[in-house]
Amino acid sequence: MSRTTPGISRRTLLIGTATAAAALAVPTTALGAARTPKVLVIGLDGTLLNRVKDAAAPRLKALMAAGLTAPSSIYANPLAPTLSGPGWSTLITGVWPDKHNVKDNNFTGHKFAQYPDFLTRIETAKPALSTYAVSSWAPLTDTVFSSKVDTRVSTPSAEYDTGTTSRAVAQLKNANPDAVFLQLDNVDHAGHSYGAASQQYLDAIHGVDGQVGQIVDAVTSRATYASEDWLILVTADHGHTDAGGHGGSTWPERQTFMIAVGSAVSAGSTRYDVKMPDIAASALAHLGIALDPAWGLDGRPVQQPRPDDFDSLRAKLTGPVDESGIGTGVVGFTHTPPSGWTVDNSKMGTGGVTEWRGWTFTTDEFWTKAERDQQRESNIRARNVFAVADGDEWSDRTVSGSYDSTLISPAYPVTGGRAATLTYTTLYRQESPQKGEVLVSYGGAAPVSVKTYTADVSSRTETVPLQVPAGATTAQVRFRYTGGNNWFWTIDGVAITQS
């Protein structure tokens, strides 16, 4: 299989990052004028962001310099294996596998009627818009994208990525699409054949980089480009092991990313709160389509960041102390809570693994590397830094006493005599005598229990109704975890709202 792409000029392949990034700047002639929003999503199957950085990939690096780079991670079994079917379905529908129900590459039992692809949602909301999808891997355009999409093309295998690229370029140059999706497959092919640590894998990235360059040039060379507001999103469905392959739970297999270039993202920026379903949500939002809560989307627009208190701790995270399998170069935990939060360990046992003694603030990478394949990879709805109480990992060294730790929120302002809603994302895995309890204190009064966990709860966003007593002006939340050598509980995105 060819490692270079026919038709790419020497100038295109060698263009400097600064020059290419400048070509993607918002057209100065359009500043202050209303421009037509358009979306381009480029999917690079099986591509690792860290290998893009190692490769001769000037066009992808130019996109990174011109916009946002957001490394991200996905699930593993039992939610779904790290395969293309679940991965692309998540990116395209904006929901995780526990909703779209794709568990393999056969798409058996999918729920695309309930959770359709983002181009179908565009057609439903704004049928006058032009939608186009082309892929080197036929199941995407044959199965995931619905017949409502204006044009769906599965590139013949003999043409492969070259044909997908030429079709996308022609559509961008000669037609007037509003939303385009395309998938290129050769990097994944090289990963399977040679492994992600190979020169062949880097060569494949170099080849697809040239194809990305052709596609982006087709956008920026449009006669109407100055009057258009393009959001360009580049992503991948999964990663690869060094030896080659994916489907398992290792950190490299669980890797994906978003590169976003457009008027609503900052050039040269990096974020850690982005997740796979955000691709679909970001595309819809850019086209002015309101995200209906009834759709049940897991994604949220990258243009509308919503950092929480725990995310402020990222710069304070440190490396492992007792954990030997995480890796010395990985930073990812602290016991110091964010401003306004406290952790009560007055009833906590002694000893155990330092990292997990009492509520800990950590990341997906750090926590899942502590112990794989015990469902920590299923914590999909937490973002960036989150809180975890993990009695299982704490007990991996000698302990005295039991695990009893309480995470206490700031005092949120509320209006007495009115209903309120407590929301947070959670993942809870149970083993008796473990218990998780949520308590709320109004105006400094004794805490009252509002939610108890004594059975497994898969990753979800909780909405707990509250009735604020008359006269109360504050509400403070406590998350108390008790147990021993049992399992774990995660908390993220805590908020109290009143309508």
Domains of the chain: residue spans and CATH: 10-295 (3.40.720.10), 309-497 (2.60.120.260)
**225: which 2 tokens?**
């480009």
Q: Checking DSSP bridges between strand 36-44 and strand 131-135, what pairing results, if any?
A: unpaired
* Predicted local confidence at residue 278, as pLDDT: 98
Give, for all 499 residues of the chain, the pLDDT tens digit. Answer: 332 333 333 233 333 455 555 556 655 444 557 899 999 999 999 999 999 999 999 999 999 999 999 999 999 999 999 999 999 999 999 999 999 999 999 999 999 999 999 999 999 999 999 999 999 999 999 999 999 999 999 999 999 999 999 999 999 999 999 999 999 999 999 999 999 999 999 999 999 999 999 999 999 999 999 999 999 999 999 999 999 999 999 999 999 999 999 999 999 999 999 999 999 999 999 999 999 999 999 999 999 999 999 999 999 999 999 999 998 889 999 999 999 999 999 999 999 999 999 999 999 999 999 999 999 999 999 999 999 999 999 999 999 999 999 999 999 999 999 999 999 999 999 999 999 999 999 999 999 999 999 999 999 999 999 999 999 999 999 999 999 999 999 999 999 999 8
The three-class DSSP label of residue 399 is strand
Q: How far is CA 389 from CA 190, 375, 386, 448, 460, in A?
A: 40, 14, 10, 21, 17
As a residue count, the chain comes to 499
Residue listed under structure tokens 């497959």: 185
Looking at residue 10, what is its pLDDT? 28
Instruction: In whole angstroms, give the CA distance from residue 244 to residue 253.
Output: 10
Cβ–Cβ < 8 Å for 330, 366:
yes
**pLDDT recorded at residue 2:** 30
For residue 165, give the nearest of 4, 30, 21 by alpha carbon: 4
Angle at 67 between CA 65 and CA 73, to 5 degrees: 100
- The SS3 of residue 404 is strand
The model's pTM is 0.93
Q: Got the DSSP string for 59-94? A: HHHHHHHHSEEEEEE---TTT--S-HHHHHHHHHHS
From CA 190, how far away is CA 246, in angstroms rounded? 12
